Structure 1
Amino acid sequence: MALSAGDTIPDVTLMTMTADGPTPVQSSSVLGSGTVVLFGVPGAFTPACSDNHLPGYVLRADDLKAKGVDTVACIAVNDAFVMNAWGEARETGDTVLMLADGNADFAKAAGLELDGSGFGLGTRSQRYAAIIKDGVVTEIGVEDVPTNVTVSGVESVLEKL
C-alpha cells in the first residue's frame, strides 16, 4: 500500500554525502522533524528529473521556507556519489538535501517503487512529492506517468502549503 496522508514515514537507512564521504542517516531523523517537503524521482540525471523536477525546488527554495518548510529533500534510487554529483551539477547547495536510497528500501517501504526494468533501470522510485509534518505525511501527490512533473512539482506543493 502506498504512503498516504496520515501515515508515518518509513524509518530506513539512507545515505547522504558529507565532507567525510557517504554517510548513513535514518529517514526518521532527517525527515521526521518540523515541516519537510520530500520529493522522489525515478533517477538522477534523467531528463524529467534534471530539467523539470529538481530545478524548480532549487529556484523556489526561498518560497518554500517562507511557507514554513524547514527541510526540502530529494530522494532517488541512486548511490550517494551519484546524488552528490547531481546536486553539484544542479547547484543545489544547502537548499535541497540529496538522499540516496540505493537499494530502494525507502521506496519499497513507502509502497512507491517503480519497475523500470523494461528500460534497464531496475527498481526505482515513483515520482512524487510529500509534505511531512513531524514525521507524518499531510499531503502526497504521485504522478500517474513517471515523466510528468505536475502533482509532484514545486508549484503544486506551494499551493498545498
Structure 2
Amino acid sequence: MTLIFAAALAMALQAPPASGWTWSLYEGEGPMVLANDIPDTANLRATLQCLPGSGAVTVAVYGENAASGFARISAGGVTAASEARLGRGGKLETAIPVDHPAFSAFVAEGRMTITVGDDASAITVERPHLAKLRRFADRCAG
C-alpha cells in the first residue's frame, strides 16, 4: 500500500504545472477589458475591449496566422461581418456591436469563431467564466 501511495505521489510531483490560462476582467478608468490571459504576464490568447456604454466591442485574437480582410464572426448559428485588421505580434482585431445576435449568442454560449479567408480562430469562455462575460457585455451595452 505504501509503495502504491509513493508511486502516485511521485507521478503527481512530475506532472506539468497547470497552464494558468484564465479569463480576467479588468475594469477601471478607460476601456474595460476581458482577457484570456495568464495573469501578471504579457501572455494573451484573446481580448474583448470596450468603453462602458459604447455599444461596441473590439475582439482581438493573438498568435494566429490570419490575414486582414473581412471577418465572419459566428456564434450560435448566427454570423456577423466586420473588417479585420492585423496588428503587432500577430494580433487579429475586429469589432462587433453588443446588440448583434452573434454577440448575444456568444454571451449565452461562450463560443465564437472569427474567420478571415481560410483562417479560423476560436474563442471559448468556459462555464465558470461566463458571469464575467455577461458583466462585460452588460457594461458595454449602449
TM-score (norm 2): 0.31
Larger Rg: 2
Higher-RCO chain (CA-CA 8 Å, sequence separation at least 6): 1
The structure where strand makes up a greater share of residues is 2
TM-score (norm 1): 0.29
